[in-house]
Each structure stands twice: as C-alpha cells, then as structure tokens.
Structure 1
Amino acid sequence: MATGIELLVAAALCVACPALNESLPANLIQVDSDNVPLPTEQPIDMEASDAGLDEDVPAETLETLINKKIKLREMRDWIGGKHLRIATLEDYPLSYTELLENGSRIGHGVSFQIIDFLKKKFNFTYEVYVPQDNIIGSPTDFDRSLIEMVNKSVVDLAAAFIPSLSEQRKFVYYSTTTLDEGEWIMVMQRPRESASGSGLLAPFEFWVWILILVSLLAVGPIIYVLIILRNRLTGDSNQQPYSLGHCAWFVYGALMKQGSTLSPIADSTRLLFATWWIFITILTSFYTANLTAFLTLSKFTLPYNTVNDILTKNKHFVSMRGGGVEYAIRTTNESLSMLNRMILNNYAVFSDETNDTFNLQNYVERNGYVFVRDRPAINIMLYQDYLYRKTISFSDEKIHCPFAMAKEPFLKKKRTFAYPIGSNLSQLFDPELLNLVESGIVKHLSAKDLPSAEICPQDLGGTERQLRNGDLMMTYYIMLAGFATSLAVFTTELLFRYVNSRQEANKWARHGVGRTPNGQSVAPSRWLRGWRRQDSGNRQLLGASTHGQNVTPPPPYQSIFSGNGHGDSLANRWRRPPIGNGNGVLLGGGASDSGVRRLINGRDYMVYRNSNGQSQLVPVRSPSAALFQYTYTE
C-alpha cells in the first residue's frame, strides 16, 4: 500500500514524462475479427523493401493472402453442417471401426480422435466406410482398396495413417502435414541364447577364429622353413634341424599349454619359439577373460535385427496384407525392393487377418516366423500379451515375455491422411493437423494406453545366469570330433594292415612258401607264421607265443657256483660246453654244472649251454648279476 508521499512523488515524475506515442508502425497490415486483412492506405506499388518483402516476391502477395483468407472463410462456411464420407482401415490402434446393429460403423483410434477434433472445430458430421479388402492399394492391387475409394471420390477423406508411397501419388493427394514417421518393427520368439555367440565360441567373433586357425596351420611350417634356412646360411651344426612334424606339434602343444620337448640352441630359433609362446599367452588370457564375462554378464542380442539379417539368413516373416511393408517390397524404387525375391521363394507371408494376437500366436509362437508390424500396434500387442501371461505366472519373467522386439526398424515411412485429387479439404484441415503434431498431441494419443516403462525389453536385465547345455555344446562337439578322428585313424591303420598282408599272401601264393622269384628264402608273413608245423602232428595256434615252452630260464644266480646241483634240478638242465676248445676256463665243482668263463667286451661272463643247445651268458660282476637275477626271478 503506497503512502501519500510516494503518490506525490509519482505524480511529479509523471508530469515530467513525454506523451505516449499512440500511432501505429508504418507498413503494418491490419486484420478484422475474422483474420481478414483490412485495406490499407499503403499503395500496392510501393517499394518491396519498404513493405518488408524481398525483391523476388511478386507484387500480388498481399492480394494472394487476402484471397486465401477469403477462401478459407468461405470453406469454413461451406463445411459447417456438411456431411462427409470418411474411409479408414482396420489398423488397430491407429484406426479401427465398430459395426453397429443398424449396419453403420463408428470409427475409433487415433485417426478418429483427430477427426472428432476437426468435427468440433468446423461443425460437420461424417460416416465411416471401410474398403472391401482392407488394403491400402497400389497400381497393381487397385481393386477394392482404400486408394480406389479416394481416387474415385467415393469418399471425401481417408482418415488413416497411410504411408507415403511413390506409386500412390498419382492416384491420391497426401496431406501436406505429416502425422508421424511410421516405424515397422520385427517381433520374434525370444531365443534362449544370445545371438552374439554361445558357449566356447562366444568370446571371439567368426573372423578371429578363422585367423587363429590359419595361424595354427601356418606357424609350424614357417618355423620349420626358417630353421632350415638359418642352418644353410650360417652353416651351424649345433642347432638340430627339427622335422616338420615336431614343429607342428610344438605349435599345437603351445596352444594347449602342454609345453614341448624341443630345446633350441640358436638364438634366432629361440626367438621364434618365444614369439609364439607370447602370442598364445596373450590370446588365451583374452579368451579366458572374455569367456568369463560372457557367461556371467553378457549382453543379450537377437539373431534378426535388420532387413539384411532377414535377407541373408532367408528367414520367414509375416506382415499385414495390403500394408506399407508389402507395397514397399513390391515397388521397384522403394527401400525394401531387394526382398521381392523372398516373396517369389515363399519366405514372405502377408496375412489377411487383422487381429494381431492371432498372427502373433499362429505365425510367431507356433511356426517361428518374424512378425513385422508398426510400432504402436507392436507395443499394444506385446502389452496385452504380457498382461494375459501375468495371470498365468506371477513371478517368472521368461513366461511373461516369450517374445522380443528388434531395436532397428524394418521400414520407416512418413504417414498422412489422403484426399481425392483436386480436393480443397487439405487447405482447411492441414493447418489444424500441423498444430496437433507440433504440440505433441498425435504422439501422445498413439501411446496413451501404454505404461511409461518398456514392456518386455530385448534384454530382460537378469544378472544371475546359470550355465546351460547350450553353453557347453561346443565342448561336446570337440569330444565327438576327437573320438571320430581317432576312430577314422584306427580304421585306416587296420585297412593298410589288411592290404599289406594281402599283398604278402599273394606273393607267397605265386612263388611258393618261403621262396622269392629268384629262389632266395624269405620270412613268412606275420599273419601266416602261426601256421608253421612244430612236429609231425601238432600245429601252433596263430599268434601264440613260444616263450616258456622251448626256452628254459637259467638257474638261480647263487646256485651257479654252489657245486651241488645234480639230479633233476633246474641247474642240471644246463650243460657245460665241450672241454678242450681252449677258449675259456672251467669254473665250478663238477663237470655237469660248471661253465666256461669268458671275457666278452671287457666283461666277465659264465657261458652255459641250455637243453636246446643254445649258449647262455651269465654275468659275473655284481651289478650285472643283480640285474640278471631280477630279470629271471621277478
């Protein structure tokens, strides 16, 4: 509340203030209550720069604005109380209809919320029509389509989110205001394993494994060639030139951390070996760390994320019949035209069913197809499916979300309303549509029935992960491959053994047993040695050993020099060589159990003759005697 002194001071200051300028600025265009410009005293032929216009703007601009305003006012007056015919598509939740008992239809969805706003704004009424085939239409698919109804002026307006396709522009007029940029997304069964890899192959991508295999095959021969080249250039005889097999097994053993028996002497060869060891150490460290990270906190990815994944992997997919995806594929100059051959090969299915839940269960859940649908419909469909499965299992997240949605859009197209060619409704409705889009109302209406949180995201976010058989499947494959390789090598060995024995048997059959073509004696095949006769009536079994039947072991070492071995003892089975040959000294107490001592290669031996007439050497020195005794007694 101002005091009296403050009021006196304010009044004095106001007296000193200059008078207010109530004149309007020059070149100002005034309008009336209907926003129609009022005529001004400013001449039309004034300078363009003085009027605030560019020199390139024609002089009739002001008259054009006036005529446009007058035309809009006349159209507002014309449409008031007018009854319009509006066509739409069954495209839940953006546009869909309800059939009443009297046969009329009521439009619902985002499109008709916009139409109802325009209805209140311009005071008109309307009735709803649906094309017989519920398709957008194209030059090759024109009959009973939405485009046909608009083109033939059967309806005044097409109220649906229609993708702006190039071939349809010559049949209809799209609104200048873009309602949104439609995104068609792929939804598929949620895989049990991430597409980034599974099990032992996950830490490295495909080309890393290829390069590791190439290095494993190439490093061994490279080391072998470098060693041979070094020895020839330097003439060094100390460094042993390892064979190619040894070098290859060294490379493989280093990869498996098994070490090697090779011990190079030359410095250059040592550096070659050390370089491979360092490479393997770093490689295995990276592999171990990445494998641990993948098996615990790996990021989940889908096997089909882009159009190229569908094309390269020949994956079956399904979409709406007569929708934007089908026409984008069938039209030559559209972005999806490279998928046209998939239609010819029956990899693409276009369903006439407008119920998205039916398509999801029939094609995706049962047959494993990829379902391509626009984002609002996908979000509503997955949310309703989530609410239903929540009643089946309250806590299991994998049951709640059996489907996953790709991140990358399959197709992106601007979507608008459509008018007949030559219609003036676009000039009346498009400014209002632009206000709704720029204010975010259209986007809000498309997502108002969805929760703020993302429903069934691609990565469910679980940090606990137990190893499954799929993670260890590569281990099983390696074991099976190893056993199969061993079996193949074993079979090859048996085959070569059989072939060699057949060749040897044929040689014996042609030239006689034990004789070659030149008459010399040859040893029989090992397969046939067991068939030789031992005497007139007995045969030796194939593969049977003759050791222990004809060979008599020598007597115990301590009994050789005892001198009391007579009778049927084991020592009596050994006879002394003939006396008088002058080649040795008789030892022992008797003639029957003594042997001849001989010096052979600087060592002392007792020479005995066994029952078969073969000579047997018995070492005399203590260490050799102990080994001899252990060999024949243990």
Structure 2
Amino acid sequence: MASGIELLVAAALCLACPPLNDTMPEGLIELNPDGSLVTETPLEVEAEDVGLAERAPVETLEVLRNKKEKLRNMKQWINGKHLRIATLEDYPLSYTEVLENGTRIGQGVSFQIIEFLQKKFNFTYDVVVPQDNIIGSTTDLDRSLIEMVNNSNVDLAAAFIPSLSEQRTFVFYSTTTLDEGEWIMVMQRPRESASGSGLLAPFEFWVWILIFVSLLAVGPIIYMLIIIRNRLTGDAVQQPYSLGHCAWFVYGALMKQGSTLSPIADSTRLLFATWWIFITILTSFYTANLTAFLTLSKFTLPYNTVNDILSKNKHFVSLRGGGVEYAIRTTNESLNMLNRMIYNNYAVFTDASNDTYNLQNYVERNGYVFVRDRPAINIMLYRDYLYRKSVSFNDEKIHCPFAMAKEPFLKKKRTFAYPIGSNLSELFDPELLNLVESGIIKHLSARELPSAEICPQDLGSTERQLRNGDLMMTYYIMLTGFATALAVFTTELLFRYINGRREANQWARHGVGRTTNGQSIMPSRWLRGLRRLNSGEGQLLGTSTHGQNVTPPPPYQSIFSHGGGGGAEQRWRRALDANRHGLILGGEQNAPGVRRLINGRDYIVFRNSNGQSQLIPVRSPSAALFQYTYTE
C-alpha cells in the first residue's frame, strides 16, 4: 500500500508525461470477443510483399481445387473396388498362407499396411504370387514379380522391394520409402576372436614393425656412438665394445636378461639406461594389454564387410532372385565387384525360402556365410535361440552357435511397386508416409522380437579360460627356435666334416706333418685334440685324476711353509727335481713354483711331470676348493 506522499509524487510526475496514443497501427486486424473480424483484410497484395518472386510458380486455387477433386474421384473409384495384389514369400515382411478352401491370404508387415489402406478406402483384394519367388530383372524377367506388375496383371506389388536401378524401366516405385533395408551376414561363431593371435594382439601391426626395426637399429647405433665418443675424447679408460656385444645387449634387455657389459663413461651409461627404460615401459604395456586381451578382450568376427568376403574368397549364400543377387549382377550397383565370385562358384543363390533350412544346411554344416535382410535374420536367430535354450539351459555357447556381423552387406531403400501409369501411388503414398513418419512400420517389423539383443557378437562372458588357440603363437615360436637351432647345428657338423676331410687329404697327399717342400706343419686343433685323446695324453672333462699316474700338487698350506713336508709335497718336489721343469719362487731352490697375477687373481704356477703348467689359486675361497679337489 502506497503512502500519501508517494501518491503526490507520482501525480506530479504524471503531469510531465506525454499524452497516450489511442490510434491503432495501420493494417492491424482486430477481433471481437467472439472471434469475428473488426476490420477487413486488404485484398490487393503484391507478390513481392508475400515473398514470391515474379517468375515463381504460384499454385492457384484452381490447381488445389483440381487436386482435391481428383483425390475425391479416386476415392469414389476405389470404393468397393476389387484389386489384385502380388507379393513374395519373404518372411516376416511378406508371405502367404493357403486356407482349407484354397484361398490364399497375405501375411506379414506388408499386408498389415494393406489392411490399414483397405479400411480407409474400402476395397477388397486377392493375393497372387509369381511362379518363381523372385523379384526379376532385365535378364531374369520370366515368371517374376516385376513381370506381373509390368504386364498389369496385378494392380499393386505389396512387398518390401529394393529400389534397384535396372527395374525402374519396368515398374513405378512408390514415392514413399517404407524403410532402408539392410542385408546382414550371419556365420558360425568362431571359438576365439579373429582380432589376431593372443601374443600379437596387444600391439598393432605397425607397432610390431617399429619394435623390430628398433631391435635391429639400436645395437649398431650404440656401437657407433661409443666409437665416435672414443675418437673425439681420446678416452682410453672406456673400452669400446664390439658390434656383437652391443647387439646382444639390446636383445638381452628385450628378453629381460642381464648383461656383462659395464660401461664407465657417463654418455655410454646414458645410452644403456635409455634402452633399459624404453624396454621396461614397453614390456609393461605389453604385459598389461596381453592380460586384458586374454581375459576380457572384445570379440571380433573373421568376416565383417564385403571386402572380407572378396579378399578371403569366402563362400556365401543368399536368396535366389533377391536384392543381393541383382545388386551383384547389375553393372552399376555397389556389389558388382563380387560378380566374379559367382563364376568361381563362391556365391550360391538358393531357391529355398525357409531361412531355418538355409541356416542349418549352409551355415552350420558347410560353414557358409548367409546374407539376409535384418528383420528375417533377427527372427531366425531368435527362434533358433529359443529352441536351443530348451535343449540346454545353462551353456551360453550352445544357445548361440551363430554370430551376426555389425556392418551391412548391402543397404537399399525398399518400397511398394505399381504398374507404370497407375494412379494408386497418388492415393496410397500420402497414407504410407504417415505410417513411416509415425514409426508404425518400424514397430511392425520388430514386433515379434524382444527388446534385448539376441546372441550378440560378444557374449559378454567374464570367465574365460585360455585355449590352445590363444597359445598357438607360443608353439610356433618354440618350433621355429628349435628348427633354427637344428639347422645351425647341422651346418656346424657339415663345416667341421668338410674341414676335417680337407686336412686329412692334405696330410695323405704330402705326408703326415710335411708340406710339398719338406717343411713340417702342425695339424689343426681338432686333429691335435683327437691325437691326444687317442694317445691317452689328454683328459676328458668330468673325469677324475685319482687312480692315474698324475702327481697332485702339494697341499695349499705347505706352499709357504718349508720346514717340513708330507708325502704329497715330497712326491711333488721329487717330480720337479727329476724333470728340472720347476720354476723358482722368489729365487729359492726349494720353492715349488712362481707366483703370478692372471686375470686379476693370484696363482702359484707349477710345471707337472708331463710338462704341462698347473695353477694353484692363492685366494682363500678358491684355495679351499682346490684343496678339496686333491684330497680324499
């Protein structure tokens, strides 16, 4: 509630306001409370004022009146009319049944649409089928559906007919598209995924190629960098490793093996550490992805697209006289690239309209790929699933022995067909358009199916046991490794035999140990080893010296003590005195050997009675092992 002061201020301000404009805008249409016009609309309106160009075709009232009159006459003409309607045996979209009195009636989605039109326009009809259950084309017109429509033997073809370019010269397709037909491939469900072998699956093809290239290239790169560094710096401490050592280091790091190489230079250490870090990350990714693939991997099929069928020359089957056959045989269609497969007997077109028979005979028994439109495939797999589930309730793999590809084999718009010159299209097409836009046709096509997907590509099983197929690459690698080792071993034996024969021929030709000019030669190490073994001079690995006339060296503790001696030490010294081959340690005549540094370790070097050198380790652990070897 405003106070008195506020009202006085508002009245003072209103005195300065401009007067109100009571005039209405020009051309305004006013309505009375009952909705009638107060003012009349202007009758003279220019075409430019309503957005029409001067040359634009303006549909006059006379044209609209003529169209409405034509539709009225057609409705009167068809009222009570008896039509002949042709169809195909294409379950579930269109099929027929013969009653006991011999009357053929139409069933399926097509005749549900016809019944809707029948109730709206009040006509009757008879159902006829062609002699052959085929659509028909230029080269396959006899006894077909297209022939019946072209000859005006029927008034309408009520079937989901694919709109192919070749048939347009024979019939008139309805302007309303019923749906976009999709022909899908169904095949036997493979036991394992077709995405590749278990060992190769974690990485793509090019990743494996790059890993192989890096395995070959990193070894020479490290070798060259080490050589360049030593040349530039003149460092004599860092030993330049050979190319073979660098290559084996790279391979050993990939296999998670250690290395005997111990670089000193910082740059060389960084090279080695960089490769180790790279291999660590790579193997971690590989292990994680391999685990995921072998347990919860996405299932893929071996045949998903038309290119898979063409490249792998896979046998496939489809209905005789259907959209797939004509799309392959017609030159300007997308599937014409499969035409050569027909002549090579990879494509089969069956006359059987029973999809269950085709599924069992061609797919289950012979391993073919069955190409069928999506509604028929869904109904067929669903009924097969129900039957198999009644046989085995728990095993999911028995319920779904077939799998359906994701990518369509063929996509075509499908419509009804009329004889050329027929006016039924103008009467029926607007009603068909209403059914399509409201989604009724799509609902009728999937009415018999459940909401859940039946037998999906990936069954979604969380428990998966590894099979031989997952480990097949492991077997291949093992067999390849053994075969390579056997080949190398055979090559070694062959070269050794060839070299032995060449040396034996040389000795036989020039005399044992003599050349052509009379000079003596030394035999090869292999032959020298054989000669020592045959003469008893050598000693095989693993054999013991006990029981032989080999004087063992003195005990380790007696080497540095000269006061007394046991029997072993006296035998050793007598043998040295007899042969006079002993080396003096520190210039003393009674010392049994000389002390030397060999490979960074201290040894006492003695000379045996047969002239061979004997090493006695000075280091305590090695000396203990040596003492244990020569004492009982």
TM range (shorter): 0.7 to 0.9
Matches within 5 A, 1:79-118: 79-100=78-99, 103-118=102-117
Matches within 5 A, 1:246-265: 246-265=245-264
Deviation at 1:462, TM superposition (A): 2.1
Structure 2 residue aligned with 1:292: 291
CA deviations on 1:289-335 (whole Å, 9 max, x unpaired) are 22222233322222322223323333322221221122222222222
The 8 Å contact of residues 329 and 336 in structure 1, kept in 2 or not, is answered as yes
Work out whether 1:489 is the aligned partner of 2:491: no
Structure 1 residue aligned with 2:321: 322
The 8 Å contact of residues 328 and 337 in structure 1, kept in 2 or not, is answered as yes
TM value normalised by structure 2: 0.81
Q: Give the secondary-structure state (helix, strand or coil) at the position aligned to 1:301.
A: coil
CA deviations on 1:167-198 (whole Å, 9 max, x unpaired) are 21111110001111111112122222223344
Deviation at 1:146, TM superposition (A): 1.5
Work out whether 1:425 is the aligned partner of 2:439: no
The 8 Å contact of residues 180 and 411 in structure 2, kept in 1 or not, is answered as yes
State the alpha-carbon separation in 2 of the partners of residues 459 and 294 from structure 1: 13
More displaced, 410-419 or 430-439? 430-439
Structure 1 residue aligned with 2:509: 510
Work out whether 1:225 is the aligned partner of 2:215: no
State the alpha-carbon separation in 2 of the partners of residues 257 and 362 from structure 1: 52
The 8 Å contact of residues 181 and 414 in structure 2, kept in 1 or not, is answered as yes
Deviation at 1:422, TM superposition (A): 0.8
State the alpha-carbon separation in 1 of the partners of residues 456 and 62 from structure 2: 56
- The one-letter code of the counterpart of 1:20 is D
Unaligned runs of 5+ in 2: 1-30, 597-602
Structure 2 residue aligned with 1:553: 551
Report the CA distance shift for 1:234/1:503 in structure 2 as closer, same or farther (over 3 A): same
Deviation at 1:596, TM superposition (A): 7.0
- The one-letter code of the counterpart of 1:137 is G
- The one-letter code of the counterpart of 1:553 is T
State the alpha-carbon separation in 2 of the partners of residues 319 and 575 from structure 1: 98
Structure 2 residue aligned with 1:333: 332
TM value normalised by structure 1: 0.81
State the alpha-carbon separation in 1 of the partners of residues 259 and 579 from structure 2: 56
Report the CA distance shift for 1:561/1:527 in structure 2 as closer, same or farther (over 3 A): same
State the alpha-carbon separation in 1 of the partners of residues 415 and 605 from structure 2: 116
Work out whether 1:439 is the aligned partner of 2:453: no
State the alpha-carbon separation in 1 of the partners of residues 625 and 77 from structure 2: 127
State the alpha-carbon separation in 2 of the partners of residues 123 and 348 from structure 1: 45
State the alpha-carbon separation in 2 of the partners of residues 564 and 501 from structure 1: 48
Matches within 5 A, 1:158-557: 158-524=157-523, 551-553=549-551
State the alpha-carbon separation in 2 of the partners of residues 418 and 396 from structure 1: 46
Deviation at 1:347, TM superposition (A): 2.5
Report the CA distance shift for 1:376/1:515 in structure 2 as closer, same or farther (over 3 A): same
The 8 Å contact of residues 527 and 542 in structure 1, kept in 2 or not, is answered as no
CA deviations on 1:380-429 (whole Å, 9 max, x unpaired) are 00000001001111111111111111222222111000111111111111
Deviation at 1:354, TM superposition (A): 0.9
User: How many corresponding residue pairs?
Assistant: 584
State the alpha-carbon separation in 2 of the partners of residues 189 and 616 from structure 1: 76
State the alpha-carbon separation in 1 of the partners of residues 537 and 525 from structure 2: 9
Structure 1 residue aligned with 2:76: 77
Report the CA distance shift for 1:617/1:555 in structure 2 as closer, same or farther (over 3 A): closer
State the alpha-carbon separation in 2 of the partners of residues 222 and 530 from structure 1: 41
Deviation at 1:272, TM superposition (A): 1.6
Deviation at 1:165, TM superposition (A): 1.1
- The one-letter code of the counterpart of 1:170 is T
Match for residue 20 of structure 1 among 18, 34, 55: 34
Deviation at 1:75, TM superposition (A): 1.8
The 8 Å contact of residues 32 and 38 in structure 2, kept in 1 or not, is answered as no
- The one-letter code of the counterpart of 2:223 is Y
- The one-letter code of the counterpart of 1:273 is F
More displaced, 419-428 or 118-127? 118-127
Report the CA distance shift for 1:154/1:26 in structure 2 as closer, same or farther (over 3 A): farther
The 8 Å contact of residues 598 and 605 in structure 1, kept in 2 or not, is answered as no
State the alpha-carbon separation in 2 of the partners of residues 232 and 607 from structure 1: 43
The 8 Å contact of residues 175 and 426 in structure 1, kept in 2 or not, is answered as yes
State the alpha-carbon separation in 2 of the partners of residues 323 and 573 from structure 1: 108
Report the CA distance shift for 1:414/1:564 in structure 2 as closer, same or farther (over 3 A): closer
Deviation at 1:258, TM superposition (A): 1.4
The 8 Å contact of residues 573 and 592 in structure 2, kept in 1 or not, is answered as no
Structure 1 residue aligned with 2:19: none
State the alpha-carbon separation in 2 of the partners of residues 331 and 618 from structure 1: 91
- The one-letter code of the counterpart of 1:383 is Y
- The one-letter code of the counterpart of 1:215 is S
Q: Give the secondary-structure state (helix, strand or coil) at the position aligned to 1:107.
A: strand
The 8 Å contact of residues 530 and 542 in structure 1, kept in 2 or not, is answered as no
Report the CA distance shift for 1:231/1:73 in structure 2 as closer, same or farther (over 3 A): same
State the alpha-carbon separation in 1 of the partners of residues 595 and 36 from structure 2: 142
CA deviations on 1:515-545 (whole Å, 9 max, x unpaired) are 22222223446776699799xxxx8699997
Matches within 5 A, 1:110-129: 110-129=109-128
Work out whether 1:149 is the aligned partner of 2:163: no
CA deviations on 1:312-370 (whole Å, 9 max, x unpaired) are 33332222122112222222222222323333333322222111111111222122222
The 8 Å contact of residues 418 and 425 in structure 2, kept in 1 or not, is answered as yes
- The one-letter code of the counterpart of 2:73 is E
State the alpha-carbon separation in 1 of the partners of residues 268 and 607 from structure 2: 55
The 8 Å contact of residues 576 and 608 in structure 1, kept in 2 or not, is answered as no
The 8 Å contact of residues 296 and 465 in structure 1, kept in 2 or not, is answered as yes
Report the CA distance shift for 1:354/1:48 in structure 2 as closer, same or farther (over 3 A): same
The 8 Å contact of residues 594 and 605 in structure 2, kept in 1 or not, is answered as no
Q: Give the secondary-structure state (helix, strand or coil) at the position aligned to 2:90.
A: coil
Unaligned runs of 5+ in 1: 1-16, 29-41, 585-594
State the alpha-carbon separation in 1 of the partners of residues 48 and 108 from structure 2: 49
Question: Percent identity of the aligned residues?
Answer: 78
Deviation at 1:83, TM superposition (A): 2.2
State the alpha-carbon separation in 2 of the partners of residues 382 and 189 from structure 1: 12
Report the CA distance shift for 1:125/1:622 in structure 2 as closer, same or farther (over 3 A): closer
RMSD: 4.2
More displaced, 499-508 or 380-389? 499-508
State the alpha-carbon separation in 2 of the partners of residues 494 and 214 from structure 1: 32
State the alpha-carbon separation in 2 of the partners of residues 578 and 174 from structure 1: 118
Structure 2 residue aligned with 1:9: none
Q: Give the secondary-structure state (helix, strand or coil) at the position aligned to 1:86.
A: strand
State the alpha-carbon separation in 1 of the partners of residues 268 and 502 from structure 2: 45
State the alpha-carbon separation in 2 of the partners of residues 157 and 422 from structure 1: 12
The 8 Å contact of residues 88 and 133 in structure 2, kept in 1 or not, is answered as yes
Q: Give the secondary-structure state (helix, strand or coil) at the position aligned to 1:336.
A: helix
Q: Give the secondary-structure state (helix, strand or coil) at the position aligned to 2:199.
A: helix
State the alpha-carbon separation in 2 of the partners of residues 387 and 298 from structure 1: 27
The 8 Å contact of residues 592 and 606 in structure 2, kept in 1 or not, is answered as no
CA deviations on 1:571-610 (whole Å, 9 max, x unpaired) are 999595499xxx99xxxxxxxxxx9747865799999996
The 8 Å contact of residues 530 and 544 in structure 1, kept in 2 or not, is answered as no
